[in-house]
Amino acid sequence: MSTIKVVEGSEAVALAVKACRPQVISAYPISPQTHIVEHLAKMIADGELETEYVRVESEFSAASVISGSSAAASRSYTASSSQGLLLMTEVLYASAGLRLPFVITGVNRSLSAPISIQVDHQDAISLRDSGVIQFFVESSQEAYDTHIAAFKVAEDRRILLPVMVCMDGWILTHSYERVSFMEQEEVDSFLPAFRPVNYLDVKDPKTWGSYAEDDVLMEFKYAIQEAMQHGKVRIKEVFSELAGITGRDHGGLIEAYRTEGAEVILVAMGSMVGTVKDAVDELRSKGKRVGLVKIRCYRPFPYEDILDAIKGAKVAAVMEANFSMGSEGAVGMDLKAKLCGRTDSPLVIDFIAGLGGREVNKGTIGEIVQKAEEVLNSGVPLQESQWVGLNPTILA
């Protein structure tokens, strides 16, 4: 039994968080994330949610509060965007190292300068090395389901890492969508109470944040990588267990969409995936052999699953709303690194699309596929990222 309602994406997330019975929520406003913590505040004011709601004075504090509360054995949550996520950076690295399993919604927005409130993935991508697990979602329904899975993944005793659920600002957070909600009893049986291995206890004092020298620091970092590697297995199990309850299967670490027999496979994540699916359907109906790989879990990076989905194709066209200045897009970089030296893998072309909220429509996707086909026909690979829709007439 489930309830279906048309809700704002932010409310869907707030309802997911509420259903997970968080004991501590820290909140600091920043667009486009603010509606999530506002919805949670209203639930508390209306007596629907009992939790410690801490209004902090910065995102650094927002992350620090849930780092402390998570260490005190409380299921903890916060949300932020853009500069706010960057301000959390130091705390997120430390929390991953301390193995604190809180959940953050990373509502994607571009980074200054120039300042903009529009969506791209630069904020979350800048945290990819921190030890935080990162999921990207396509719809409000997927955002709802993924938040419920996120706490279970984070709190798994062989993982114990912060989890960030990344959702595109405005496009998902501020649009209304039909969302199916789980019953509270279903969430409770899927997600038991948080029972951490380590926790702050006055009766059994422990040292947190201890110093590590060159003889042990490497091993502590390797332990995080081991947890990430275990995550690749466990995340699939958790997603599949949840799908069994809800009847909604969004896929595992990736979703392969019409990849069978595809020559060109687009690789994308976030809300643009919905548009790509429509574009793929249209191109397929015109006889073009095009498919899509949607990355649901970006860290740990599921290269085995991606390789499996793209190995029959000739070109993998990575579409990404981020750029590593001086190099290329982060997802293209990850994929190329893992494909390097393999003889069974397609050519990878990196396309930068959608920075600062620039529209990615079916026309944009058509251009990308056309470019990929040109490369395929000419046989000349493209080393540099292709900035799709760049307007050369306004470049100074």
Partner 1 sequence: MIMRITLGSVVKGRSSLDYKTGGWRDQRPVIHEDLCKACGQCEMVCPDNAVHVVDKTYVIDYDYCKGCGLCAYECPTDAIEMVPEEK
Binding footprint of partner 1 on the chain (CB under 8 A): 97-100, 160, 197-198, 204-210, 212, 216, 219-220, 223
Q: Provide the minimum distance between the beta carbon of 79 and partner 1 in the complex, in angstroms, as a whole number.
A: 24
State which residue, 51 or 67, has the beta carbon closest to partner 1: 67
State which residue, 213 or 260, has the beta carbon closest to partner 1: 213
Contact 273, 331 (CB under 8 A): no
| Cα 267 versus chain centre, distance | 15
Cis amide leading into 196 (omega within 30):
no
Length of the chain: 396
HSE-CB at 372 with a 13 A cutoff on CA atoms is 29
Q: Provide the minimum distance between the beta carbon of 98 and partner 1 in the complex, in angstroms, as a whole number.
A: 4
State which residue, 218 or 380, has the beta carbon closest to partner 1: 218
State which residue, 216 or 380, has the beta carbon closest to partner 1: 216
State which residue, 96 or 293, has the beta carbon closest to partner 1: 96
Q: Provide the minimum distance between the beta carbon of 101 and partner 1 in the complex, in angstroms, as a whole number.
A: 10
What type of residue is 26? Answer: S
> DSSP per residue over 298-345, as a string?
EES--HHHHHHHHTT-SEEEEEES---TTS--HHHHHHHHHHTT-SS-
Neighbour count for residue 261 (Cβ, 10 Å):
10
Distance CA 227, CA 220 (A): 11
State which residue, 84 or 231, has the beta carbon closest to partner 1: 231
Contact 334, 301 (CB under 8 A): yes
Q: Provide the minimum distance between the beta carbon of 220 and partner 1 in the complex, in angstroms, as a whole number.
A: 6
Q: Provide the minimum distance between the beta carbon of 63 and partner 1 in the complex, in angstroms, as a whole number.
A: 16
State which residue, 223 or 245, has the beta carbon closest to partner 1: 223
Distance CA 343, CA 345 (A): 6
Q: Provide the minimum distance between the beta carbon of 59 and partner 1 in the complex, in angstroms, as a whole number.
A: 22
Q: Provide the minimum distance between the beta carbon of 344 and partner 1 in the complex, in angstroms, as a whole number.
A: 38
Distance CA 278, CA 274 (A): 7
Distance CA 22, CA 50 (A): 8
Q: Which of 292, 323, 322, 285 is nearest to 306 (CA)?
A: 292
